[in-house]
């Protein structure tokens, strides 16, 4: 009787998937806003940071942070997986004032990107920028 009970419980766990995450917590990625200073430190210390400019192409050409990749906020859902294939990459998102970067960061998180930080607007970036 005891063997049948243990066997039944084992089969129930195996087929229900309940045993898959035993001892491990699943953590949901949440929206995170950081300062320009924190972003600059990340950029200086990690060569693999992806800096994402979500403004328009015209705005990007006028000035952008060195090394930034342009992906306009209205194209995130269509092009993110092509341009940003690694969903675990460290991504810093900015726009002009912080409105589009927040929306873009939230969209990326909902698409399964796990390490996304909103750094706000380029208007608050006290460091150098460049033109295209």
Domain boundaries, the chain: 29-124
pTM: 0.79
User: What value, to the nearest 5°, has the Cα angle with vertex 27 and ends 35 and 71?
Assistant: 50
The beta strands (E) that lie in the chain are given as 50-53, 69-70, 90-95, 115-121
> Is the confidence at residue 132, as pLDDT, over 80?
yes
Superfamily of domain 29-124: Rhodanese-like domain (3.40.250.10)
Q: Is the pLDDT of residue 45 over 80?
A: yes
């Amino acid at each position: 009787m005891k063997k049948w009970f243990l066997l039944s419980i084992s089969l129930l766990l195996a087929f229900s998937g309940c045993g898959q995450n035993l001892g491990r917590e699943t953590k949901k990625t949440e929206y995170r806003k950081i300062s320009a200073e924190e972003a600059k430190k990340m950029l200086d210390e990690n060569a693999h940071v992806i800096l994402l400019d979500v403004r328009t192409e015209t705005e990007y050409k006028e000035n952008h942070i060195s090394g930034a990749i342009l992906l306009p906020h209205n194209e995130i859902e269509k092009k993110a997986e092509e341009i940003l294939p690694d969903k675990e990459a460290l991504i810093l998102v900015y726009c002009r004032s912080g409105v589009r970067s927040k929306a873009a960061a939230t969209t990326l998180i909902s698409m399964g990107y796990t390490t996304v930080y909103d750094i706000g607007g380029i208007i608050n970036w006290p460091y150098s920028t460049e033109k295209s």
